[in-house]
Amino acid sequence: MKFEIVDKKIDDIGADLTLVPVTKEGLSHAWVKDRAVLEKMKFKGEADTVAYLPESGRIYFGIGEGDEGLQDAVAAAVKTVLGTEAKTVAVPLCTVHEVHEAGAKALVDGLMLGAYSFDKYKSKKSEAVLEKVLVSTEALDGQNADAASVQSIVDERTKLAESVNFTRDIINSMPEEVTPVKLAEIASEMAKENGLECNIYDEAYLKKNKMNAFHSVARASTNPPRLIHLAYKPKNAKKKVVLVGKGLTYDSGGLSLKPSDFMVTMKADKSGASAVLGIIRAVASIGLDVEVHVVAGAAENMIGGNAYKPDDVLTSRSGKTIEVRNTDAEGRLVLADCLTFAQEEIKPDLIVDMATLTGACVVAVGEYTTGVMGHNEALKSSMLTAADASGELAATLPFNKYLKKLLKSEVADLSNIGSSRYGGAITAALFLSEFIEEEYKDKWLHLDIAGPAYVEKAWGCNPHGASGAGVRMVVEWLKSL
Ligand code: BES
Ligand code: ZN
Ligand code: ZN
């Protein structure tokens, strides 16, 4: 899908189809040409409703009020476009002139993220007919936005949306294909294409560097683990940030085996790692002035004669010992060592980890929202602000000293699960916090993306399956530093 900015009124652009946004004011806007037909169809322009009129070559779509719903409305409209033979489609800025930036962002997100489909394993592939989107600079209030500024927003947003779709492709790929070794190959190929530094470490490195928590999780699998480290180092970087990603290419639960129904979709347990790869790809292609490192722990949590067991005590890279009480709480073990690696080897200004860490987070905030946790209130709220501006949903979950006590172990420094069935998203984050050095406590954020990373139904501009959750939010946050 290519974009061309056209410095003309929408009515003066000739395209196979024209997308016409309809606000909550209804059909009175000058862009609406087919009032009588639309009224007959009982189309009122409610949010996310679409009316395709083949004869007039127009697709009307309701955008509701405010800008938040715009990306979803555009996504609904583009699905209708994809069902036609149209090669070109024209669309105006769907917001008023003053907020054309939000309009242009939502347009690109809605179109590119909404048009995504994953058919790698289908024998019949969907053919992409739509070639070009002509974006008119005309805004809802009839004023024209500056074409150059729309162009630069669209250019940047296109790169970002490509990175979201890159992340989605990795997550949607099956575990037989995307093993830890393959994930490392994908990372190094992407690094080469984007001029990033890349170091991949194998089992021998994990053993040599006493990353026994990470290594234990990976031990039972015939697919060996990889520690992936990529770096984007622009000149005059304002800050150095490490993004740590959970890359469980499969999570069977290990000996604390998941029930069948809960195991399905666990290919998506690599969503954190896939997201951080997408983020650094976007950051490099946009050319942000922040030094960004990616540390991804790639492993498979499997069963077998060599599997780590409940009752084992693991010594992490930090030296802290961990009593394993449930092998399905494996992500935090991999992340513990990755977080230590990040602090010791990279010495960043800020650390953000991203993980499909707990089902409890999904229970707490629902499927569509990322859980944001950490010790620094201002840092947490900066992430919420970024989420808002990015088109993603996020909410904070609060730490407290009572939940922290639940991680106490009688045999080791701490247990890998909390002793209560409640507050699991927070106890998981508090476990990670034990591996954040004192000087980094206020410089760390944990993002639990277990809900939005992979949803088995389409929602908003997201398809069935992987959404690429976290990519837009964290890129927006990096831009705000
Ligand atoms: N990968 C899962 C968490 C998860 C659950 C992600 C649902 C996406 C959807 C994680 O490794 C896990 O199994 N966590 C356990 C922790 C428990 C054993 C303390 C969980 O959430 O049940
Ligand atoms: Zn698990
Ligand atoms: Zn997991």
Q: Annotate 292-337 with DSSP letters as a single string.
A: EEEEEEEEEE--STT---TT-EEEPTTS-EEE-S-TT--HHHHHHH
**What's the confidence (pLDDT) of residue 342?**
98
For residue 20, the CA-to-ligand 3 centroid distance in Å is 43
Query: Which residue in 15, 267, 21, 284 sits closest to 162, CA to CA?
Result: 284
Question: Which residues of the chain, if any, have pLDDT below 70?
Answer: 66
Gap between the Cα atoms of 472 and 386, Å rounded: 9
- List ligand 1's pocket residues with C-beta within 6 A: 251, 269, 326, 328-331, 356-360, 362, 417, 424, 450
For residue 68, the CA-to-ligand 2 centroid distance in Å is 33
For residue 454, the CA-to-ligand 1 centroid distance in Å is 13
Q: Check if 168 is active-site.
A: no
Please say whether the beta carbons of 323 and 434 come within 8 A.
no
Beta bridge partners of 2: 132
Pull the structure tokens for residue 450.
């277990």
Residue nearest to atom 22 of ligand 1 (CA): 359
Q: Give the number of C-alpha atoms closer than 13 A to the C-alpha of residue 453, restricted to the C-beta side.
A: 33
Please say whether the beta carbons of 325 and 255 come within 8 A.
no
One-character DSSP codes across 400-443? -HHHHHTT--SSSSEESS-SSSS-HHHHHHHHHHTTS-GGGGGG
Atom of ligand 1 nearest to the CA of 258: 13
Residues with CB under 5 A from ligand 3 (ion): 248, 251, 269, 331
Pull the structure tokens for residue 358.
């707990």
**What's the confidence (pLDDT) of residue 389?**
95
335 CB neighbour count, 10 Å cutoff: 29
One-character DSSP codes across 333-400? HHHHHHHHHIIIII--SEEEEEE---HHHHHHH-TTEEEEEES-HHHHHHHHHHHHHHT-EEEE----
Atom of ligand 1 nearest to the CA of 424: 19
Atom of ligand 1 nearest to the CA of 416: 19
**What's the confidence (pLDDT) of residue 252?**
98
| DSSP one-letter code for 144 | B
Q: Check if 332 is active-site.
A: yes
Pull the structure tokens for residue 233.
């180092």
Distance set, CA 421 to CA 171, 238, 434 (Å): 29, 42, 20
pTM of the model: 0.98
Q: Give the number of C-alpha atoms closer than 13 A to the C-alpha of residue 86, restricted to the C-beta side.
A: 27
Pull the structure tokens for residue 145.
């936005």
Q: What is the distance between the terminal CA atoms of the chain, rounded to a whole angstrom?
A: 31
Helix, strand, or coil here: 479?
helix
For residue 432, the CA-to-ligand 2 centroid distance in Å is 15
Gap between the Cα atoms of 48 and 65, Å rounded: 11
